[in-house]
Amino acid sequence: MSKYWSDFVHQLVPYVPGEQPKIDNLVKLNTNENPYAPSPKVLEALRAEANEALRRYPDPTSSRVAEAAARWAGVEREQVFVGNGSDEVLAHAFHGLLKHDKPVLFPDISYSFYPVYAGLYQLAFQAVPVNARLEIQIDDYARDNGGIVLANPNAPTGIALSRAEIERLLQRNPDSVVLIDEAYVDFGAESVVGLVARYPQLLVVQTLSKARSLAGLRVGFAFGQRPLIEALTRVKDSFNSYPLDRLASAGAVAALEDVPYFEDTRARVIASREALRGQLTQLGFSVLPSQANFLFARHPSFGGAALAQALRERAVLVRHFRAPRIDEYLRITVGLPEENAALVKALGEILGAR
């Protein structure tokens, strides 16, 4: 607090990211980063771009990235917006497309940045409860709204909606924007990017942070019809004309083009997830069906906070949310096979020592 703060800053409630501690030999399964390195072609492209051209501003429209993303997604170049991480894309979408006089709808259990953006841009919202199995019920969104935001797969549950369910929502909700946050879609869910051509209210947001192993590069996208992209561009050009620097642009293009590496690493993560799910189940955990690179699990006789703390003492970091309805759960990022083995070993010790 400070007398220099504006009233606006006094009332902000910022997002709290998972910790990034500087501890050696930590098994870090708390922020859904990819356990595999970025493609070697990305690193090559970054090195090649580290040259005297850095004295120049980058391309304000990130054209090469947008073209590569359009090719990847099967949409037109004009249907792509590029931002500094998908968090920035989401922020611009809240500001430019969801700020209306009616409440925005998103699930009560979802990405905790959504209410933060609503606060930042002073949007009214309603948190729509997920059901007892923590599933999103599409029918609950059939009400007057200023926009609908769903993460698919949802976070932190990992549960995915089918393309058919999202299409049903689009058919019923033609008058406000439907934003589908596909941060984790490449780990097994169905993307709705193919529906962009048919639904003018659909905005699909993706990122290179998860399935492309580039959380440190900060590149995200939105796919939608031209009027939606134009709104995002107007907000961007009123905020920061150059969201992507030259290095990020070069790395992003290389990442989008190295499809074999992407296919290989995401298949490994999916296989590890399924193996880990089996091991956690054997330890007595209930594990939600995840289509993401993390598992959301609870143990019948240990609370989430106690387990997270006991794991921390064994140098294993997972995420626990001190929030209603999910306080018993742990969100565990799928790591390398040896990291997952270290987690299972630590859990075995903790649970065995009762």
Ligand X SMILES: *Cc1c(COP(=O)(O)O)cnc(C)c1O
Query: Considering only residues 26, 120, 195, 215, which one is a binding residue for ligand X as defined by CB under 6 A?
Result: 215
How far is C-alpha 272 from the chain's CA centre?
A: 20
- The answer to whether the CB of 117 falls within 8 A of the CB of 107 is no
Stretch that binds ligand X, among 80-88, 132-140, 266-274, 320-328 (CB under 6 A): 80-88
- Taking CB under 6 A as the criterion, which residues in 260-319 touch ligand X? none
Stretch that binds ligand X, among 56-64, 82-90, 191-199, 249-257 (CB under 6 A): 82-90
**Interaction of residue 326 with ligand X, rule CB under 6 A:** no
- The answer to whether the CB of 149 falls within 8 A of the CB of 181 is yes
Within the chain, residue ranges assigned H as helices are: 7-10, 40-49, 63-73, 86-97, 113-120, 163-172, 226-236, 246-257, 259-282, 304-313, 337-352
The conformation of residue 2, written as its DSSP 8-state character, comes to -
| Cα–Cα dist 63/161, whole Å | 32
118 vs 350 by CB, closer to ligand X: 118
- The answer to whether the CB of 161 falls within 8 A of the CB of 185 is no
180 vs 347 by CB, closer to ligand X: 180
Binding mask 216-255 for ligand X (x = CB under 6 A): ----x-----------------------------------
Q: Which residue has the tokens 């001190």?
A: 322
**Interaction of residue 187 with ligand X, rule CB under 6 A:** no
Burial of 173 (0-12, 13-18, 19+ CB in 10 A): buried
**Interaction of residue 87 with ligand X, rule CB under 6 A:** yes
| Selection from 258, 197, 190 nearest residue 44 by Cα | 258
**Interaction of residue 49 with ligand X, rule CB under 6 A:** no
| Selection from 150, 149, 130, 132 nearest residue 140 by Cα | 130
26 vs 215 by CB, closer to ligand X: 215
**Interaction of residue 199 with ligand X, rule CB under 6 A:** no
Query: Considering only residues 72, 81, 94, 111, which one is a binding residue for ligand X as defined by CB under 6 A?
Result: 111
Smallest gap from Cβ 127 to ligand X, in A, equals 15
181 vs 258 by CB, closer to ligand X: 181
**Interaction of residue 33 with ligand X, rule CB under 6 A:** no
**Interaction of residue 181 with ligand X, rule CB under 6 A:** yes
Stretch that binds ligand X, among 9-17, 68-76, 84-92, 305-313 (CB under 6 A): 84-92
**Interaction of residue 209 with ligand X, rule CB under 6 A:** yes
Query: Considering only residues 85, 115, 147, 188, which one is a binding residue for ligand X as defined by CB under 6 A?
Result: 85
- Taking CB under 6 A as the criterion, which residues in 126-165 touch ligand X? 151, 155
According to DSSP, the β-strands at 202-207 and 148-151 are unpaired
CA dihedral 21, 25, 31, 35 (to 10 degrees): 140
| Cα–Cα dist 261/275, whole Å | 21
185 vs 307 by CB, closer to ligand X: 185
Kindly list the residues in this chain that would bind ligand X in the complex (CB under 6 A).
32, 85-87, 111, 151, 155, 181, 183, 207, 209, 215, 220
